[in-house]
Structure formats: structure tokens, C-alpha cells
Amino acid sequence: MSITGMKLRTAAPGGDWRSHETLVGLVPVVEGAMDKLEDTVGVYMQGAVAGEYVAFLYHAEKIVLPKDAGTGLSITQWAKVYYNAATKKLTGVAAQNLWVAICLKAATATDTEVLVDFKGDKAHS
């Protein structure tokens, strides 16, 4: 299963989430897809084509994001969660990946999504 839309779980009004507008390059973007722009990992809040502006969410206290699935890829509650640039999804594997979130609800190896507190600061290993 893949993300087919925005899955923001932060309460509104007053919920803590942050985004900024960014110009889409040559490759169209899909709502709910993750990406790394400069040193910031985020998720596109809507789909857009080249030359359009799109909202890029980089911080949310609760959001469901795409996760790598497969043997050994479960994530325990409260564990650090990392961005895998190769798959453009989240993982519990630290090696070669960037720390971007904390897991709020345990995810099994077969889960394709995970509920996280998305940090919003500079992504680092």
C-alpha cells in the first residue's frame, strides 16, 4: 500500500506543523511523497508539475509517512526514525540514513507507513 494523500494527524487549530512553498523542478511531485531539499527532509502536501509551486511540509507533531517494508525493518515505539534517500521513505535503520523523526506507534516489518513526530530540523545522521 502506498500513501495516496496527506495523512497529517496534528490537531488543528493550534497544531504544530510547518511547511514552505517550493518550486517544482523537471520531475512532477505526488501528494504524500517524501523528498530531501538541501538539508531538509519533508513531504509534499499536494501534487504539482514542473514550474508550479507546492507546499513542502517539514515538521509535524503527528503524521503518517511512507516506510520501507521488508525483513528486519520493524520500528519500535519511541525509536529514532531515519530517511532513506535511496527509497525516499522512512526506516529504523541508522546506517547511511538521516535522522528525521521519532516513532509514535510501533510499525511491523510489513507495514508500509509509520506514525511519527516529524522533527523539522536539519536532517543529520
Dist. CA 25–CA 97, nearest whole Å: 24
For the record, the C-alpha cell of 39 comes out as 538539508
Give a yes or no: residue 58 inside a domain. yes
pLDDT in tens, 53-110: 999 999 998 999 999 999 889 999 999 999 999 999 999 999 999 999 999 999 999 9
Give a yes or no: residue 8 inside a domain. no
Cβ neighbour number for residue 42 with a 10 Å cutoff: 26
Backbone angles phi, psi at 119, to 5 degrees: -60, -50
Record the pTM.
Answer: 0.87
Give a yes or no: residue 6 inside a domain. no
Give a yes or no: residue 9 inside a domain. no
Give a yes or no: residue 125 inside a domain. no
pLDDT greater than 90 at residue 42: yes
Residue found by looking up cell 507546492 in the block: 54
How many domains does the chain fold into?
1
Domain that holds residue 36: 17-118
pLDDT greater than 50 at residue 3: no
For residue 2, name the pLDDT band (cuts at 50, 70, 90): very low
For the record, the C-alpha cell of 115 comes out as 506514525
- pLDDT score of 123: 73
DSSP state of 79: -
Looking up residue 86, the CATH number of its domain turns out to be: 2.40.300
